[in-house]
Structure formats: structure tokens, C-alpha cells
Structure 1
Amino acid sequence: MKRKLLYALLLTAGTMSSVSAQTDEQMLARIREEGMLKSQVMATALQFTDVAGPRLANSPGLKRAQDWAVNELKTWGAVNAKREPWGKFGKGWEIQKNYVAITAPYYHNIIAIPKAWTPGTNGLVKGDVVLLKVDSLPDLAKYQGKLKGKIVMMDVKGTGGQTYRADASRYTDSALTAMGNATLAPAGGGQRRGGPGARGNMAAAAALRQALPKFYLAEGVSLVLSQARGTDGTVFTSNGASYADTAKAVAPEIETSTEDYQRILRLSKAGVKVGLEADIKTEFFTNDLQGYNVVGELPGTDPKLKDQLVIIGGHLDSWHAATGATDNAAGCAVMMEAMRILKRVGFKPRRTIRIVLWSSEEQGIHGSHNYVLNHFGDAKTMVLKPEHAKVSAYYNLDNGTGKIRGIYLQGNAAAGDLFKSWFAPFKDLGATTVTISNTGGTDHLSFDAVGIPGFQFIQDGMDYNTRTHHTNQDTYDKLSEDDLKQASTIVASLVYNTSQRDEMLPRKPLPVAQPPKN
């Protein structure tokens, strides 16, 4: 009798396992069909870029994109969709008019972007460009009282000519193999470069950089020209002042393309007067200084697991020179599409699936850092909240438009075999690599910092670092539709597997609390 009962139990267990595997295969096939053949990822990307416009932190463009995302999640059937405040950020800012041109020795409209959080020119300003020769703080004295109403620039080196390297590239097989075979580098810093002299020179340069904005404002210059990083008309943009509501005023400042800056510089050094005119209007927004993330959920259905979370996300904010397509409308569109796919195929997750689209990542991953602080725990003290124990994994996408080639384990070796099995069905789509290595610079770090499994995907670089990242070229037409379809499908599949697994993903040992500063 006991043998018959044991045999029956084994047979039942085998049958259940077979049914479960078959169910997984069927669901993954439906996810793949929806993601690859019925995709809406480009329609979402269009809303985040061309429709919303630039999405600088706390700007009207970011709010437009956030409001659209909340409404779209609700339309798809997500619950708890909202803009959730995470704490104080600071001022919003946007460009409302931007015209800059050389007027002598001939007319030429130049490529120029106002630096973020800088004021406008208060109407049209005209004048000859004044070349300042300032190598150290004492050099400023010779210009005191001489620059009121002037347009000024500094003597800065150019790029040094063509490099003749391809703008866009994909990972080679050998590079992916090397990543897969990598070992985790030991903790600890390397040898400090440079001696006391080098550190002294750096300190002097830093002091000059800090003094210049105050000097320009005190002298009443009408416009400051800066040379942006980039070539061939690409401008890698940045901020020229703080977003804090207590930040001190600065003079109007623009970043020009290298080619335009060097043309003006060459003419000025040759003794040729360069006339320039500019009409720049910017606006600050101070009515609401709070930062917000977009949140929405597909609720879990398993009585024992529904309170646990699988979280996906990317940062929705961008820089202001273009519409932030590859950085990071692409990642947010993929994560939105993953939610749509899972809802569309009728998936009833065991664990709750939550999407969060972060804000203020570009200023220091503030949105995700404060979200983790509010919900899960403090990375400095390692004082954790009850929700911390309920997160199985966080998946992030923020490396451009390139297809997913694998995943960074962020040192979580115990999750390696699991991901290898989950990526196995996507070998034909080029996603196979699981690397123990860490990667940084984006929002998964906020989760990893408190010991929650946080992962960033390996993506083909394309022209992210050479042409689109933080530039005036980061527009919708730089997106690769096929790559984003592939990424959406893979993310949806990994989320499915993570939600359905009996156990949560394995975790690394908790980080150690940081010692208090004296």
C-alpha cells in the first residue's frame, strides 16, 4: 500500500511539473508574440519624446510625460497608478527661446544650447566677443570694471581633429564571452595618481571654476560662451547653475558646438572682431519643489506571495538639449511595454509587479534613492523597513536603444544559473550573457545599496556614448525599433519568471552600515 501511495505521489508531482513547464512555455510564447509582432513600444517612445519634449527634472516637459504614463497605465488596467512624491528637489526650468548667431565678419547661425538653470538675456543682446586670457585667479583682476554688457569667452583647446572611429557599435562575440567569463574584482581602491603638485594644480583649477560665475555676475556680462564636449555639431550639454531654490544667481551662459566655438576663437586670436547677437528666454518654475516618480502595479494573485514585489523601472527625466530618446525614453518605453505585454496576454502574476519611472536621475539618482529610503531602508545606517524583505528583484534599463545582450549580476553569484536558464530561450535574439560584473551610474544602485537584488541589463552600445547621451542629437529617430521590441519581450519574460518562481531571488549579504562622520 505504501509503495502504491509513493508511486502515486511521484506520478502526481511529475505530472504537475510537466504541466507547469508546459504552462511556462505557452505563456512565454504568447509574451514573445505580443512583444515582437504586436509591439506598441515606439508609440510610447513617441509620447515620451516628440510629444512631451525635453524632460529636465521638475520641468513642465517631465510632468507632461509623467501624466501621460499614469493615464496610460490606468488604461491598460494597472492599479495604484500615480505620481508619487519622494521629497524636495528644487526648481524646474525650461528654454522658451534660443537664438544665437555671428553677425560679423559675416552672418552665421551657430549651434548653441543654454546651460540648464541659467537665466535668459532679457531680450536681444549684441556686441563684439571679448576673449579673456585667464589662467589663474589673479588674472581676473585685469578685467574688473571692463566687461559690463560684454559677450565673453575663454581660450579653450578644440578636439584635435578627427578620430575616424565608428559612432555606433554592437558587442562582439568575443567581448560578450569575456564578460561572461569575468570574475568579480576585489574591493579596494587603486593607487592614487599624481603627487602633491598635481593635486595642487587641480585645486587651483577648481578654485578658478568656482570664482568665474561670481565674477561674471558681478561684472555684469551679458552672455558667457562655453565650448561643449562633442564633434560634428553634437553638443553634450550640462547645467550652469544649481537647481536648489536657494541657489545664487548667475550670468546667462550657453554651450556651443566645438566647431562654432573654435571658429570664433580663431578669428578673435587673429585680431578679427567677431560680432554676435543672442536672444535667449528661459523660465524657472518654483510653485512645486517636490520631486515625483511614476508608479503603477499589476497586483499579485497568490495568497502567500501577492505582497511580494517584482519591480521594474528606468529614469524618465532627461537633459534639455533634445528630447532624451536614448537617455532614457528608450528604457522607460521598454518597461511600459513590458507591463502592457503582461496585461495583454492575460497574465495573472503570483507576486505583484510594480513599475516605477524615476525622476532626477541625471542630478544624482535622487528619485530612486529617495524611493528606496522611503519604502525600504537607509543605505547609510542599514536601518531597514518591513517592505525590504518583500522585494524579489529590481530590473533597470538605462543604456540607450541597443538590444539586451544579457545581464549584470552585480556580484550576486547565486542568481547566475537562474538567469542563464531564463535567457536560454532568447539565444536566437542575441541575449545570452550573464556576467558577475558590476555596472554603475544608474538607478539599480539605489536598490543594491540596501541589499535588494538590483540588476541592469547589458545592452549594445550603438551610438549612445559617442553621439546621443546627454546631447542635442538624442531624438526619437535615433531609436532602434527592432532592438526595443527585443528588449521589451525579454524584460516581460524575466518579470514573468521572477513573479512565478516559488522562492524569491537569492540575495547577497547585506551591506555594512556606513560609520557616522565625526
Structure 2
Amino acid sequence: MKKNLLFSAFFAIGAVSPLFAQESFDAAAVQKIRDEGMNRSKVMETAFTLTDVTGPRLSGSPGLRKAQEQVAAQMKAMGLQNVKIEPWGEFGKGWQIDKSYTAMTAPYYDALIAYPKAWSGSTKGAVKGEVVIVKADSLPDLEKYKGKLKGKFVIYDSQTTQAAGDIFQADGSRNTDARLAEMAATQPVTPGAGPGGRPGAGRPGGRGGAFAAMAFRPKLAEFLASEGVGLIINMGRGTDGTLFTSNGNSRAKDAPKAGPEVEMSGEDYLRLLRLVKSGAKVEMEADIKTSFYTKDLQEYNVVGEIPGSDPTLGSELVMLGAHFDSWHSGTGATDNAAGSAVMMEAMRIIQATGLKPKRTIRIALWSGEEQGLLGSRGYVTNHFASTADMVLKPEHSKLSAYYNLDNGTGKIRGVYLQGNAAAGPIFRSWLAPFNDLGATTVTISNTGGTDHQSYDAVGLPGFQFIQDGMDYNTRTHHSNQDTYDRLSADDLKQAATIIAAFAYNTSQRTEKIPRKALPAARPPQTPGGAGAAGTAPARN
């Protein structure tokens, strides 16, 4: 019954609906895609391999290398062509955790939730020490601690007294009809407007204090290292045992190796702080081992293709992508094994249906996204154009569109146009067969923070899909809770099916997806370093 209703909807759209009359598509092909994607999905098998089997995929780590080799082999097994592990430029030092243990031993024993900060160093084997509070905002503040911190476990004073926030607000949520309607009604950004289309909107003021703190941090770390502290402990963001990790130190090839430093769950950290402030003698033990890797400072993306079948259009491209790297405290399930598995599944669906796309469909799984979209930016620079000079390379004219997924496990509710109004009627038409699955909304709005921006920055059509938030921002994003268990199988099936249809429809259009005007060149303000595009040979 669903199949008949679906076909009726397709033909009604193509035959009588003036709203979609400008954009036709192969309804039978889309139905094949839907049937394969919703009834014979392999997306959770891929997600399992990327998370439980492979583990964390921090850029530069052996874990990411292993995952890249595994997914390249999977691409080849799927029948993709031109599969390679392609360098995009210099990343810097690799790093991984080999061992991590922290516990309070007095006034009583308790194992604590803590993870080393990325690119931080090791303890000198198993170490024990007293917990002391350091309160310092400037170099003069440190004078009183000279000669008193050797072997100590250092924590910082905090105005926060409780880790819990609003416990009455649900962790997870989906987009409401009202919210989607608001997004759909958004007007194009006016000239000079900041984020959200409001003239002058932008970042709030008051950043001076934050910049001062950032400038002082290296000096504080240098002082603590010179004093020979046993371990530096930071209070991590999060509640209820959830710990959101962050970067600890520089990955630059010439950066000095940092000392041992961890982030601890808010509940455990504040308990230590309260105890020390009360006058109790608090002692801890820790055994942390991390490794740095400098043999290969390059980083890589994994790419593969379904070659185009049309003699003329076959040299043109449709691209799908998601970032493949993760942070290190979880297994990077919602950020972003979800998007990577969905894009792999979209390619599998197209292959399994036997459809022959006219344009080449290329998948790219990026590294270095968490450090600033480095993998996609390097790829775009190497293949299409550099924002520094906007000199267009031959492939720039060949790309029709790039589609990205990187907002967790939630199902697709629509697509952001990134200000590309001309693409709106096309995408509304393509979403129509999936309206019954909750995908209805096209918004002119921009969204940021992920790899479609690398394409948009050089005038290429790059799009991110609207997704239900679920518990992405409250529980899983960059946290120790970002594991396979947080994935929604039904949502990922839906997303992969819709993206497969978008990719196939894009490959079949007579014309490429419309483009916005080319942006002006933006020369870099500072000399390039780790992250600049490179030309090392690919690892196949």
C-alpha cells in the first residue's frame, strides 16, 4: 500500500503540481532507492565497525589510520572505483592514549571519571600525591606557589559549586513543526547582516577576559611543569557522568611535549574541591601513558567513486562527505561515525539498485575536521580553489554539488540552502517523496561548523541537511557518551535513503545545481602552518 501511495504522489507531482513543475526526476529510480535503503539497510553494520570495532579516531592517531584503511577496503568491496587514502597536507604530531587511570585514595578510595587532554603527556609511571588548589590569574599570582607543588595533583579553584544544570529539561528532542515552519519562513540574509540574518548580529562582547585567560594558559602550564607537578586536573563540562573532552596542547611538529593533564567529570572534580577547601587531606593516584607520533606528519582523507556512465556528463562530479575523525573519550558515534556510515550507505544503496548515475558520484571521508575543517579545506584547496587567491582549478567547473551530514544521529528534516535560493525549488521537489518520513523543510538559512563550508567558501554549492537534535548537544557531542548505543537505526536509514536520492537526482540533471556568485579572495592574515595543503603521494 505504501508503495502505491508513493508512486501516486510522484506522478501527481510530475503531472499537475505547479510548485514542482520546474524540476522533474525519475520516480521509479527514487522508489528503488527508497526500497533498498529502508528495507535492506547496512548502515548499522558500518556504524558498528566504525565505533565498537575501530574505537576512537582522533586525527593523527593510529586509531584513525586503522579506520581509514578499513573503510577504504570496504569501499573497494562495495565496488567503488579510484579508492585512495589521499593526503591533504601537514597536520602535525599524532597522539593517542595508551593507558588512563585516576582515583582518589584518601580520605577514602574511589575511581574517578577522567580522560587525558588531547596532546598531553604521561605521568612518570604510577604516581601518588596530595591534591592542592592553585588559584592564579597572572604571573605574580604564581609566586606564592614556588617550591610547593612538586609531585602534587593540582586542581583550580572554581566559582561553580554544583555540576548539575537544569535537571528538569529533557536531554533529547526533535524539531517541532513550529520550529521547522520558522526555518522555512526565514528570509534571505540582508547585506551586512551577521549570523541569523539580523543586521549587525554576531558574537557578543566581553571576549577580552577570555583572550587574557588564553594568553596566560601557556605561562601557567610552563610554570607548573617547571615545578614538577604530578598531574594537572581540569573540571570538564557535563553532568551525570558525561564528560565533554577538549584539546589540551599544541600538535605542531616543533611544539614541546606537554605534561600530564586530565579533564574530570564535574561531580568528581567538585567533590575534590569541596574536600580540599574543608581542610581534609585529599590524596590521589594516577597512571597515564600517552604516545606521540612524528614519523608521518601528513593527514589523509578517504575517497572513492561510482564512475559516471554518460559520455558527456561522466566527467562531472557529485560529492558526498562527512568527517571521519573523532575525539578520544568515546568512539565518535554521533560525531561523526553517523554521518560517515550514512554516506557509505548512500553509496551502497546506489550500487545495490543497479542504477547508473550519469555524473560521477564521489564520497570523501574527512580528517582534521575537529581541528578546524582541515581535511575538507585541504581537499578543496588541492582540487578546486584556494580562498587565498580564488584561482579556479579545472575541477571547480566540474562539481555540481557537495552534500554533508554532521549533526548527530537525528533523521533528516530538510536542507539548509546556504543562501542559494535557486536551489530551493529543486530540493523541495526532491524532498517530496520523503515528506511522509518527516523530511519537509527547505530553509534559505546558513548553518556552520562543518565541512560544507569548505565548498561554500570557494563558491561551490555545499549543503548540510537539517537534522533532529536528539541528545547531540546535551549528551554526546565530543563526550565519553558518544558511543554506538546513542545511534538511532531508523533515523540513519532514513538519512542514507534521502541522501542517496539527492546524489542520484543530482547526477541525472541536465544542468548542474545553480551556484551563488563567486566570493572574493581572502588572503591569510598569518603565515600558514599545520593544516596547509600538501602534495604527498596518496596511500591506496
Q: TM-score range by the shorter chain?
A: over 0.9
Which residue of the partner structure matches residue 175 of structure 2?
171
Conserved 8 A contact 1:136-1:204: no
The aligned runs of 1:447-466 (5 Å cut-off) are 447-466=455-474
Q: For residue 324 of structure 2, what is the amino acid of its counterpart?
A: L
2:101 to 80, 96, 99: 99
Listed one character per residue, the Cα deviations across residues 226-264 of structure 1 (whole Å, up to 9, x for unaligned) are 000111111100111111111122220000000000000
Secondary structure in structure 2 of the residue aligned to 1:466: helix
Moved more, 269-278 or 144-153: 144-153
Q: Is 1:331 the counterpart of 2:333 in the alignment? A: no
Aligned partners of 2:163 and 2:293: how far apart in 1?
40
1:357 to 355, 359, 365: 365
- Partner AA of 1:50 in structure 2: D
- What are the Cα deviations for residues 142-177 of structure 1, in whole angstroms up to 9, with x where unaligned? 111221221111102335644021100000000000
Aligned residues: 497
Instruction: Indicate the larger mover: 26-35 or 410-419.
Output: 26-35
- Residue number in structure 1 paired with 2:78: 76
- SS of the residue aligned with 2:370? coil
- Is the 2:25–2:505 Cα contact (8 Å) retained in structure 1? no
- When residues 108 and 371 of structure 1 are mapped into structure 2, their CA distance, relative to the original with a 3 A threshold, is same
CA gap of 1:516–1:462, structure 2 versus 1, over 3 A, is closer
Q: Distance in 1 between matches of 2:338 and 2:489?
A: 10
CA distance in 2 between counterparts of 1:502 and 1:120 reads 58
What is the alpha-carbon distance in structure 2 between the residues aligned to residue 347 and residue 96 of structure 1?
Answer: 46
Classify the secondary structure of the residue corresponding to 1:512: coil
Shift of 1:27: 1.3
Unaligned runs of 5+ in 1: 1-13, 15-20
Contact map agreement 1:351 1:500 (CA 8 A) in 2: yes
- Shift of the 78–200 alpha-carbon distance from structure 1 to 2, 3 Å rule, reads closer
1:182 aligns with 2:190: no
| CA RMSD in angstroms, aligned pairs only | 1.8
Q: Is the 8 A contact 1:297 1:354 kept in 2?
A: yes
Counterparts of 1:123-138 in structure 2, within 5 Å, are 123-138=125-140
**Structure 2 equivalent of residue 43 of structure 1:** 45
* Rg larger for: 1
Q: Give the C-alpha shift of residue 46 in structure 1.
A: 0.7
Kept after mapping to 2: 8 A contact 1:145/1:219: yes
Alpha-carbon distance between aligned partners in 2 of 1:194 and 1:57, rounded to the nearest angstrom: 31
The residue type paired with residue 126 of structure 2 is: L
Contact 1:306–1:352 under 8 Å retained in 2: yes
Does the 8 Å CA contact 2:164/2:239 hold for their aligned counterparts?
no
Output the amino acid matched with 2:100: N
- Which residue pairs with 1:8 in the alignment? none
Structure 1 window deviating more from structure 2 (181-190 vs 165-174): it is 181-190
Q: Distance in 1 between matches of 2:379 and 2:521?
A: 19
SS at match of 1:166: coil
| CA 1:28–1:204: 2 relative to 1, 3 Å | closer
Kept in 1: contact 2:476–2:482 (CA 8 A): yes
Q: Deviations over 1:395-422 (max 9, x none)?
A: 0000000000000000000000000000
What is the rounded CA distance, in whole Å, between the counterparts of 1:37 and 1:516 in structure 2? 49
Q: Supply the distance in 1 between the matched residues of 2:333 and 2:45 (Cα, whole angstroms).
A: 12
Give distance in 1, aligned partners of 2:188 and 2:94: 40
Taking the aligned partners of 1:200 and 1:172, their CA distance within structure 2 comes to 37
CA 1:248–1:304 in structure 2 vs 1: closer, same or farther (change >3 Å)?
Answer: same
1:346 correspondence with 2:348: no
User: Partners of 1:178 and 1:59 in 2: how far apart?
Assistant: 42
Alignment pair present for 1:315 and 2:323: yes
Residue of structure 1 equivalent to 2:413: 405
SS in 2 for 1:377: coil
Determine which of 366, 375, 378 is the counterpart of 1:370.
378
Is 1:120–1:282's contact at 8 Å kept on the other side of the alignment?
yes
Please say if 1:145 is aligned against 2:127. Answer: no
Q: 1:517 to 1:110 in 2, by over 3 A?
A: closer
Report % sequence identity: 62
1:270 to 264, 274, 278: 278
CA distance in 1, matches of 2:215, 2:68: 39
Which of 286, 290, 293 matches 1:285? 293
**3-state DSSP of counterpart to 2:371:** coil
- State the 1:386 CA deviation: 0.9
SS, match of residue 507 in structure 1: coil
Matched residue, 2:31: 29
CA contact 1:220–1:251 (8 Å) conserved in 2: no
Q: Which residue among 480, 486, 503 is the counterpart of 2:488? A: 480
* Alpha-carbon distance, 1:133 to partner: 2.2
How is 1:439-450 mapped onto 2 (pairs within 5 angstroms)? 439-450=447-458
SS at match of 1:362: helix
Q: TM-score, length-normalised on structure 2?
A: 0.89
**Cα gap change, 1:235 to 1:377, in 2 (>3 Å):** same
Report deviation, 1:22. Answer: 10
Superimposed CA distance per residue, residues 402-452 of structure 1 (whole angstroms, 9 cap, x where no aligned partner):
000000000000000000000000010000100000000000000000000
Pairing partner for 2:256 from 248, 262, 273? 248
1:467 to 475, 487, 497: 475
Structure 1 residue 204: Cα displacement: 3.6
Which residue in the other structure is 1:4 paired with? Answer: none
In structure 2, stretches of 5+ residues that fail to align are 1-14, 16-22, 195-199, 527-540
Shift of 1:217: 1.2
Amino acid at match of 2:230: S
Is this contact kept in 2: 1:308–1:352, CA < 8 A? yes
SS in 1 for 2:26: helix
Deviation at 1:201, TM superposition (A): 4.0
Amino acid at match of 1:184: P
For 2:364, the aligned partner's letter is: V
Task: Please tell me whether the aligned partners of residues 458 and 518 of structure 2 are also in contact (alpha carbons under 8 angstroms).
Answer: yes
Change (3 A) 1:201 1:319: closer
State the secondary structure of the residue aligned to 1:411: coil
| Cα drift, residue 200 of structure 1 | 5.3
What secondary structure is seen at the aligned counterpart in 2 of 1:33?
A: helix
Q: Residues 194 and 362 from structure 1, CA distance in 2 versus in 1: closer, same or farther, beyond 3 angstroms?
A: closer
> Given the superposition, is the C-alpha separation of residues 456 and 129 from structure 1 closer, same or farther in structure 2, using an over 3 Å criterion?
same
Distance 1:515 1:63 in 2: 32
